[in-house]
Structure 1
Amino acid sequence: MTGLHERHLAVSPDWLALYYRQPLELTHGEGRHVWDADGNRYLDFFGGILTTMTAHALPEVTKAVAEQAGRIIHSSTLYLNRPMVELAERIAALSGIPDPRVFFTTSGTEANDTALLLATAHRGSNQILAMRNSYHGRSFSAVSVTGNRSWSTTSLSPLQTMYVHGGVRGRGPYAELSDERFIKACVADLEDLLGHTRGAAALIAEPVQGVGGFTAPPDGLYAAFREVLDRHGILWISDEVQTGWGRTGDHFWGWQAHASNGPPDILTFAKGIGNGMSIGGVVARAEVMNSLDANSISTFGGSPVTMAAGLANLSYLLEHDLQGNARRVGGLLLERLRAVGAASPAVREVRGRGLMIGIELVRPGSDEAAPDAAAAVLEAAREGGLLIGKGGGHDTSVLRIAPPLSLTVSEAEEGAAILGEALRAAG
């Protein structure tokens, strides 16, 4: 055990998890690579949990941060803030939401917490619909709408939460149905559930479930849900903390795969927009955003420095068509990983979209989740010079692959080869 690891354990909560048997101290990064304190270089396929979205040490972002820090670092939302207004204008225009208002927070957890506050205030109800296997953050309210046992740290809740089928296509009672029948069955389940409520405030849903193992319903499910929700006056919150900014390749936002009847009422975002700087936020129709009838500010949300980073990062992403790169290089990587998976009896499924890919592991010859195998592959990939993540709703048995969106073809090929070796080495 290293001295820093010992010091970490002495001052940190027992529940603060670290990856790897010998945890890494990452000291610097460049492009799609990072280095540890021992000088080892790694290809980064996890980006600090999908947060380093464009590249490590992106010059445009580091320059914007340094220049803004040299002017003023902090003011709070009590003062006019030019970088915050400029980034809000750009996000509002990109959101697809009519008459949008934007509120910045410091994290995705806080963004989802704010969305729940807005929805319950607007509707006068504390009933929330959420998806099974979902994850929405670490706060008291966000945990209370999290449908993943591994991350639901308490059963106490300020909300009455009811869980809906549909977020996981390949498991559960509807797994064997066609996509069309799957959607119909999930809609019927939603209709039945609403018959037992007194007027829910909102449905909160990740278009692709992140912590849950990059699972997703068939395209169009949330559009079908929206028809039901609209009849009941229930809001739709799209949690885009992991799916936003073009990561899925096909769409800029995850909700657009379900867009036949328009955008969500509320959209939450975070992670990638700051490229490592702490930015979260909410976009909502003015009618919904303005529901609060008491004072509310943010001390750190919309910080001039983080807003400068977000503006530079978003400009780089759009100017270099990183969404298109995610589609092209992500498609290649998915193809390579499916070939790798076909050669391993431990791989149940390789799924994903763009640069958001999950490899679900099971005990060979069964459908039983294999968290030990996932942990072993994580270690073996590190030994091979590749950092990946893990997650899943069945005992953390899914390898999560989400590189920066500037990933090159050669890096995708290299990472797939290392993963293939890691799967073989882990047995």
Structure 2
Amino acid sequence: MSELLSRHRAVMPSWSPLYYESPLEIVSGKGSRVTDAEGRTYLDFFTGIVTNMLGYDVAEVREAVERQIAKGVVHTSALYLIRSQVELAEKIARLSGIPDAKVFFTNSGTEANETALLLATHARGSDEVLAMRGSYHGRSFGTVAVTGNRAWKNSALSPLNVHYLHGTDHASPLFRDLSEREYIDRCVADLRAVLDTTAPNVACLIAEPIQGVGGFAMPPEGLYGAYKEVLDEHGILFVSDEVQTGWGRTGTDFFGIGAHGVTPDAMTFAKGLGNGFAVGGVVARGDLMDGLGALGVATFGGNPVSMAAAGATLDYVLDHDLQDNALRQGRTILEGLRALRELPCVLDVRGKGLMFAVEMVDFESGAPSPALAAGVLEATRERGLLVGKGGVHGNVLRMAPPLTLSTEEAAEGRDILLDAVHAVAEQA
């Protein structure tokens, strides 16, 4: 492994991080488990950054891809009719709930969010965009500009004029004494103030229903509904970034924005839909999607192989009611993890469905502790569980197991995490 790591560091950028003190090479997988190059098997609670939504080696997805490859057509480009692309777009448009919806396929969430920003800024004739503090929307020039997480912003330059809103900082000293209703009211008042003082012609608000890289920080349910009432008064569009929250992962709604009781003008998606194959896209109101005056195409977006994988993945989610499974297994895990709040090094345990997090802080000062989070990351690996890390300060353990997770696997992963956090707490 040290030889491969040395080769990696010689040719890969230093700003692209690797997990663990001794980085891991995953060589195979089955169900909810993966095996590394040394033959050790792990229960995977991070699924390739919320991407292997059904787990590994799913027959229905594999066979759909093999059938397409067997036809000898891996790529044609969207300049030709692609039956599987049209069929998948029809399903997504219907599931979105957006009136007269149309779909444009891309290769990733970053590219999907770039497309949504293009649609909104063109429609409104404005470069002004509202985004959320703590957010993450991608690694490109435009999506970095609307990312509200300093750890992932590699440039202060921006093609957009961005204003950041409150919404996931209820626990901060500024707001912690407020009820949820009072906090929402305060956030709405701040939005109105931004519009009255610094943002005369906003194109859109782009927001994640649950902030992924931000450590699964969540606004109170109903906040985006309250925001949208104000946005509608000004004709401002609303884009819901569903790259990590879509396809039933939150358990209560098929798309995360459903918890807020609103239908956005556009939604972006990626990650889990392809179950490991590269796919992303935007579903938006037809008039908004058709509004661009110039031509546009994604060379690899919507290619036949990705469409075969995505179509099979979506069908599997619907046929097996994985949204309900996410709700049930998520409850099993979260109910057990909440006991960690009693530890002085755990500030919060939060989540929804199969999307949950543990926030680590210093024992004495209560300050965010990336070191303790890194310790838990290592401790879970030692015990056979893979988890992720995030948060504005890098102090949050975040987990998003496959939606196919069994009751036994949910309990196993929960118990490993409990043991790992307690072990790190005792050693600190």
Alignment match, 2:110: 109
8 A Cα contact 2:357 2:397, kept in partner: yes
Identity of aligned residues (%): 56
TM-score (ref. length: structure 2): 0.97
8 A Cα contact 1:169 1:215, kept in partner: no
Alignment match, 2:170: 169
AA in 2 matched with 1:337: L
- The 3-state SS of whatever aligns with 1:169 is coil
8 A Cα contact 1:127 1:202, kept in partner: yes
Alignment match, 2:407: 409
8 A Cα contact 2:345 2:366, kept in partner: no
Alignment match, 1:374: 373
1:25-424 matches, within 5 Å, as 25-71=25-71, 72-171=73-172, 173-195=174-196, 196-259=198-261, 262-339=262-339, 341-393=340-392, 395-424=393-422
Output the CA distance in 2 between the equivalents of 1:174 and 1:81.
51
Output the CA distance in 1 between the equivalents of 2:366 and 2:157.
32
Output the CA distance in 1 between the equivalents of 2:85 and 2:173.
43
- The 3-state SS of whatever aligns with 1:358 is strand
- The 3-state SS of whatever aligns with 2:227 is helix
CA RMSD of the aligned region, Å?
0.9
Superposed displacement of residue 173, structure 1: 1.9
Superposed displacement of residue 408, structure 1: 1.0
Output the CA distance in 1 between the equivalents of 2:13 and 2:383.
30
AA in 2 matched with 1:21: E
Output the CA distance in 1 between the equivalents of 2:223 and 2:113.
21
Judged with a 3 Å threshold, the aligned counterparts in structure 2 of structure 1 residues 9 and 94 are, in CA distance, closer, same or farther, namely same
- The 3-state SS of whatever aligns with 1:201 is strand
Superposed displacement of residue 280, structure 1: 0.4
Output the CA distance in 2 between the equivalents of 1:254 and 1:171.
23
Point out 4+ residue stretches in structure 1 off by more than 6 angstroms.
none
AA in 2 matched with 1:225: Y
Superposed displacement of residue 343, structure 1: 4.8
AA in 1 matched with 2:117: L
Uncovered stretches (5+) of structure 1, i.e. residues with no partner: none
Output the CA distance in 1 between the equivalents of 2:366 and 2:166.
20
Superposed displacement of residue 168, structure 1: 3.0
- The 3-state SS of whatever aligns with 2:205 is strand
TM-score (ref. length: structure 1): 0.98
Output the CA distance in 2 between the equivalents of 1:171 and 1:276.
36
Output the CA distance in 2 between the equivalents of 1:138 and 1:200.
23
Superposed displacement of residue 366, structure 1: 3.4
- The 3-state SS of whatever aligns with 2:247 is coil
Output the CA distance in 1 between the equivalents of 2:249 and 2:170.
20
- The 3-state SS of whatever aligns with 1:225 is helix
The answer on 1:4 being equivalent to 2:4 is yes
Output the CA distance in 1 between the equivalents of 2:168 and 2:104.
27
AA in 2 matched with 1:300: F
- Render the CA deviation track for 1:180-212: whole Å, top value 9, x for unaligned: 000000000000000121210000000001100
8 A Cα contact 2:68 2:304, kept in partner: yes
- The 3-state SS of whatever aligns with 1:292 is coil
- Render the CA deviation track for 1:46-88: whole Å, top value 9, x for unaligned: 0000001012111100111111111110011100000100000
8 A Cα contact 1:344 1:423, kept in partner: no
8 A Cα contact 1:169 1:216, kept in partner: no
Output the CA distance in 2 between the equivalents of 1:267 and 1:167.
20
- The 3-state SS of whatever aligns with 2:129 is strand
Superposed displacement of residue 416, structure 1: 1.3
- Render the CA deviation track for 1:3-25: whole Å, top value 9, x for unaligned: 11111011001111000011000
Output the CA distance in 2 between the equivalents of 1:294 and 1:224.
35
Output the CA distance in 2 between the equivalents of 1:168 and 1:212.
11
8 A Cα contact 2:127 2:203, kept in partner: yes
- The 3-state SS of whatever aligns with 1:211 is coil
8 A Cα contact 1:44 1:403, kept in partner: yes
Superposed displacement of residue 409, structure 1: 1.2
- The 3-state SS of whatever aligns with 1:426 is helix
Superposed displacement of residue 172, structure 1: 5.2
AA in 2 matched with 1:224: A
Judged with a 3 Å threshold, the aligned counterparts in structure 2 of structure 1 residues 172 and 291 are, in CA distance, closer, same or farther, namely farther
AA in 2 matched with 1:349: D
Output the CA distance in 1 between the equivalents of 2:259 and 2:250.
10
AA in 2 matched with 1:252: F
Output the CA distance in 1 between the equivalents of 2:347 and 2:283.
37
8 A Cα contact 1:131 1:166, kept in partner: yes
Output the CA distance in 1 between the equivalents of 2:61 and 2:172.
41
8 A Cα contact 1:134 1:167, kept in partner: no
8 A Cα contact 1:108 1:137, kept in partner: yes
Output the CA distance in 2 between the equivalents of 1:63 and 1:241.
25
8 A Cα contact 2:131 2:146, kept in partner: yes
Superposed displacement of residue 174, structure 1: 1.8
